[in-house]
Amino acid sequence: MDLKDVFAHVDHTLLRPVATWEEIRKICEEGLRYGMASVCIPPCFVKRAKESYPGLNVCTVIGFPLGYSTKECKVFEARQALDDGAGEIDMVVNLGDVKAGNFDRVTEEIRALKEEAGDRVLKVIIETCYLTEEEKIALCRCVTEGGADFIKTSTGFGTGGANMEDILLLKAHIGPGVRVKASGGIRSAKDILAYLEAGADRIGASGAIKAFENEKNAEEGGGY
């Protein structure tokens, strides 16, 4: 897989609470220059980013990062983001419902967000660091039955991020048509390539460009 193909699977991400427009503008320009799958940015920047870079695929987050806002609030957030020009939505599930075993409510919420998104991409963040294996498998069913396009490991704001064990588990239990996004703590070119080779279709990372630049600098007379 060459670097162009790798970056076509990366959501170039900046979700720090203190992010400024100048920083967002920089990753938007990088997203276009390197052919990233999308740039994933806070909702408040979506409209300006899309107006400034019409050809850019803009992703944003809903119910982020804790997931415990109401279904109605998440639907409203998603509607505004889509109206502002977002092409992809990454929503956080209600982890309280997960822990209570209320998986029908989780599925219902996902379905409501997918109905709002329509033909635009919906990714469901399940925050694997807080879950048992049984809960992860149950959420694979929720995401599949709710009609989402991706199941995503992490917000990057929890106690842990992506790991290979979770990628393989999710890949084994999602339904047809659902893809896996690995995100959270992914900082090396080696990890990005390993997750893609293991079956993740999308990578969420803020440092993918730097990771491959470091890889190139570390190799003598070759590499990326």
- The domain limits of the chain are 3-216
- pLDDT-derived band at 219 (thresholds 50, 70, 90) equals confident
DSSP 190-210: HHHHHHHHTT-SEEEES-HHH
- Rounded to an integer, the average pLDDT of 135-164 is 98
| Residue 101 half-sphere exposure toward CB, CA atoms < 13 A | 1
Bridge partners of 121? 88
Is 210's pLDDT higher than 70?
A: yes
Question: Is the CB of residue 166 less than 8 Å from the CB of residue 136?
Answer: yes
- pLDDT-derived band at 224 (thresholds 50, 70, 90) equals very low
- Rounded to an integer, the average pLDDT of 186-209 is 97
- pLDDT-derived band at 215 (thresholds 50, 70, 90) equals confident
- Rounded to an integer, the average pLDDT of 154-173 is 98
Question: Is the CB of residue 14 less than 8 Å from the CB of residue 27?
Answer: yes
In the set 123, 152, 166, 191, the catalytic residue is 152
Between CA 74 and CA 58 the distance in angstroms is 18
Tell me, what's the pLDDT at 222? 52
DSSP 80-119: HHHHHT-SEEEEEP-HHHHHTT-HHHHHHHHHHHHHHHTT
Is 204's pLDDT higher than 80?
A: yes
* DSSP 3-state of 60: strand
Q: Assign domain 3-216 one CATH number from 3.40.50.2020, 3.80.30.20, 3.40.50.300, 3.20.20.70.
A: 3.20.20.70
Bridge partners of 58? 39
Is 1's pLDDT higher than 80?
A: no
Residues 92-145 pLDDT 10s: 999 999 999 999 999 999 999 999 999 999 999 999 999 999 999 999 999 999
In the set 11, 90, 166, 191, the catalytic residue is 90
Residue 90 appears among annotated catalytic residues: yes
Tell me, what's the pLDDT at 145? 98
Residue 181 appears among annotated catalytic residues: yes
